Amino acid sequence: MGSLEIRVSSREGSSDYGGTGRVSAAELQGIMDRIRSSVEEHKVQAAMDIRRLTKTSSRNRRHLSLAVEPLVSMLRSRSSESNEAAILALLNLAVKDERNKISIVEAGALEPLISFLESTNSNLQEYATAALFTLSASSVNKSRMSASGAIPLLVKVLTDGSQQAKIDATVTLYNLSTIVDNINTILSFHPIPPLVAFLKTCNKSSKTAEKCCALLESLVALDEGRTALTSEEGGVLAVVEVLEDGSPQSREHAVGALLTMCESDRSRYREVILKEGAIPGLLELTVQGTLKSQAKARRLLELLRDSPYPRSELQADTLENIVSNIVSQIDGDEQAEKAKKMLAEMVQISMEKSLRHLQRRALMCTPTELPLGKRPWEVSSK
């Protein structure tokens, strides 16, 4: 499982100002008076003001943290307008503020937020999913969230929700999956069919694909997850497509998922991975991926050959031999030809990288640092 925890990005601001400016003590007091009012319209307006003032200002999030409890109370209102205004205000209060994330959950927000996941009001469902996504970034909240029954409803949103709600549900489930005990719970509600369906429809180089693959990498850590992925039509192929066309981070998750499968039971998953044409993408990763991707791709290529080396015997210069061995076993002229072409390109890129490394080394070294016989510019002193 990857150690990276996905946090809010597109929803978070980065400036303390962003047009909001400083808020006077009188204005803050006025907002707090309105949010505690018994008049619904006053509460809604106060919630809207809180949302506006905390959109980009960490200072205002601190000043207005006392509004958490009355906002959570608004979640229990029968008015959808009050519900939506409160969720959006709480969402901005929680962004980039660990203390507010925790206090929102401690104030009792999970129960109403989770109930909104079943709402027929698509806006309310979408806002609630976004709020849970933000709150799940806090390690303190994860166990409480899973214990509150969020997981089955998040899987349901992944199946039936709007595009944005599906994205936020996926990342929330990923964040919850960083607690190992939650992986079994997530898998018990069969998330892989809707997750694969979602992955198939999205651009493989998108952030959405990255989030889907991050969750899949977590889920295939268990046998039930691996079985579900290989049983789903086009499941492994969807991961291989990300391996070829995804962003660097997406490809790292994709190769991580495939490597986990092959390491868990090579005899069971080797042919499945080869059949879906993973070799070209793996070859490219060995020279163009992130450092983690390169290492994982090399290890997976080793496992995919007919008789893998023991890990201790694998040498850096055996990669071409490993790949040649695999290519010779691939069925289908087109796929084998593509793999051979990728191998040639990989060797060329590897040679160019080695040459650049030697050139840089030559520029950086002083004559005395280079081995004897490698200093043609030296003139004999005799």
Which stretch of 23-27, 160-164, 185-189 has the lowest confidence by average pLDDT?
23-27
pLDDT band at 182 (very low <50, low <70, confident <90, very high): very high
- Check residue 332 and give left, alpha or beta (phi > 0: left; psi -120 to 50: alpha): left
Query: In the prediction, which pLDDT does 30 show?
Result: 95
CATH code of residue 267: 1.25.10.10
pTM of the model: 0.79
pLDDT band at 305 (very low <50, low <70, confident <90, very high): confident
219 falls within a domain: yes
In angstroms, rounded to a whole number, what is the distance separating the alpha carbons of residues 325 and 301?
Answer: 10
Render pLDDT for 276-295 as a digit per residue (tens, 0 to 9). 999 999 999 998 899 999 99
Whether the Cβ atoms of residue 99 and residue 139 lie closer than 8 Å to each other: no
User: For residue 254, what are the domain limits?
Assistant: 190-305
Structure tokens at 216: 């899949």
Render pLDDT for 256-276 as a digit per residue (tens, 0 to 9). 999 999 999 999 999 999 999
163 falls within a domain: no
**Closest to 68 (Cα-Cα) out of 114, 10, 131:** 131
pLDDT surpassing 50 at residue 332: yes
Count up the domains in the chain and report the number: 1
Average pLDDT of the residues in 168-185: 96
pLDDT surpassing 70 at residue 15: no
Higher pLDDT, 306 or 114: 114
Which stretch of 72-86, 145-159, 176-190, 356-370 has the lowest confidence by average pLDDT?
356-370
Query: In the prediction, which pLDDT does 60 show?
Result: 94
Instruction: Return contacts of 39-47, CB within 8 angstroms, 24+ apart.
Output: 40/77, 40/79, 40/82, 43/70, 43/74, 43/82, 43/85, 44/81, 44/82, 44/85, 47/71, 47/74, 47/82, 47/85, 47/86, 47/88, 47/89
Higher pLDDT, 297 or 336: 297
Query: In the prediction, which pLDDT does 17 show?
Result: 32
Query: In the prediction, which pLDDT does 331 show?
Result: 57
Query: In the prediction, which pLDDT does 312 show?
Result: 42
Average pLDDT of the residues in 342-360: 55
236 falls within a domain: yes
232 falls within a domain: yes
86 falls within a domain: no
Which stretch of 24-33, 94-103, 185-194, 333-342 has the lowest confidence by average pLDDT?
333-342
Place of tokens 């205002």: 60
Render pLDDT for 19-30 as a digit per residue (tens, 0 to 9). 345 778 899 999
335 falls within a domain: no
Averaged pLDDT of the chain: 84
- Which residues, 6+ apart, have CB-to-CB distance to 356 below 8 Å? none
201 falls within a domain: yes
Q: How much of the chain is helix, strand and coil, in % rounded to 5?
A: 70, 0, 30
40 falls within a domain: no
Higher pLDDT, 231 or 367: 231
